[in-house]
Amino acid sequence: MEKFSISTTTRNELIDITRRVQSAVKDSGVKDGVCTVYCPHTTGAITINESADPSVASDIERKLKKMVPKNENYSHAEGNSDSHIKSSLVGNTVQVILDNGSLQLGTWQGIFFCEFDGPRTRNVWVKIS
Amino acid sequence: MEKFSISTTTRNELIDITRRVQSAVKDSGVKDGVCTVYCPHTTGAITINESADPSVASDIERKLKKMVPKNENYSHAEGNSDSHIKSSLVGNTVQVILDNGSLQLGTWQGIFFCEFDGPRTRNVWVKIS
Amino acid sequence: MEKFSISTTTRNELIDITRRVQSAVKDSGVKDGVCTVYCPHTTGAITINESADPSVASDIERKLKKMVPKNENYSHAEGNSDSHIKSSLVGNTVQVILDNGSLQLGTWQGIFFCEFDGPRTRNVWVKIS
Write the secondary structure of chain A as one string of H (helix), E (strand) and C (coil): CEEEEEECCCCCEEEECHHHHHHHHHHHCCCCEEEEEECCCCCEEEEEEECCCHHHHHHHHHHHHHHCCCCCCCCCCCCCHHHHHHHHHHCCEEEEEEECCEECCCCCEEEEEEECCCCCEEEEEEEEC
In tens, the pLDDT along C74-112 reads 998 899 999 999 999 999 999 999 999 999 999 999 999
Contact by Cβ (8 Å): A111, A97: no
Domain count for chain B: 1
Contact criterion met (CB < 8 Å) for A72 and C53: no
Chain C closest-CA separation from residue A35 CA (Å): 10
Does B79 have pLDDT greater than 90? yes
Going by pLDDT thresholds of 50, 70 and 90, the confidence category of residue B77 is confident
What percent of chain A shows pLDDT beyond 90?
Answer: 98
Q: What mean pLDDT is predicted for residues C1-6?
A: 97
- Between B76 and A25, residue with greater pLDDT: A25
Model pLDDT, residue C99: 97
Nearest to A36 among C49, C58, C97 (CB): C97
Q: What mean pLDDT is predicted for residues B85-108?
A: 98
**Sign of the CA dihedral with C61 first, then A38, C2, and C109 last:** negative
The boundaries of the domain holding residue B107 are 2-128
Contacts of C29 (CB under 8 A, 6+ apart): none
Model pLDDT, residue C77: 87
Residue of A nearest to B94 (CA): A95
Chain B closest-CA separation from residue A4 CA (Å): 23
Residue of B25, B31, B34, B85 for testing the chain C interface, max C β-carbons within 10 Å = B34
Q: What mean pLDDT is predicted for residues B1-18?
A: 98
Contacts of C96 in chain A (CB under 8 A): 38, 93
Model pLDDT, residue C69: 97
Which of A66-70, A74-78, A90-94 shows the lowest per-residue confidence on average (mean pLDDT)?
Answer: A74-78
The CA-atom distances, in angstroms, between A46 and each of A32, A102, B8, B84, C45 are 21, 19, 27, 15, 18
Model pLDDT, residue A77: 87
Q: What mean pLDDT is predicted for residues A111-127?
A: 98
Contacts of C15 (CB under 8 A, 6+ apart): C6, C8, C112, C113, C115
Model pLDDT, residue C35: 98
The identity of residue A42, as a single letter, is: T
Contacts of B48 in chain C (CB under 8 A): 42, 88, 92-93
Instruction: Using alpha carbons, select from A35, A32, A1 the residue that is nearest to residue A18.
Output: A35
Contact by Cβ (8 Å): C84, B49: yes
Model pLDDT, residue B16: 98
In tens, the pLDDT along A11-39 reads 999 999 999 999 999 999 999 999 999 99
Residue of B nearest to C90 (CA): B90
Q: Is 0.95 topped by the overall pTM?
A: yes
Q: What mean pLDDT is predicted for residues A70-78?
A: 93
In tens, the pLDDT along B26-56 reads 999 999 999 999 999 999 999 999 999 999 9
Bridge partners (DSSP) of residue A128 are A35
ipTM comes to: 0.97
Model pLDDT, residue A91: 98
Does A124 have pLDDT greater than 90? yes
Contact criterion met (CB < 8 Å) for C88 and B47: yes
In tens, the pLDDT along A32-51 reads 999 999 999 999 999 999 99
The CATH code of the domain that includes B104 is 2.60.120.460
Contact by Cβ (8 Å): C6, C20: yes
Please give the angle made by the CA atoms of B80, A47 and B45, to the nearest 5 degrees.
55
Does C53 have pLDDT greater than 90? yes
CB pairs under 8 A between A and C: 86
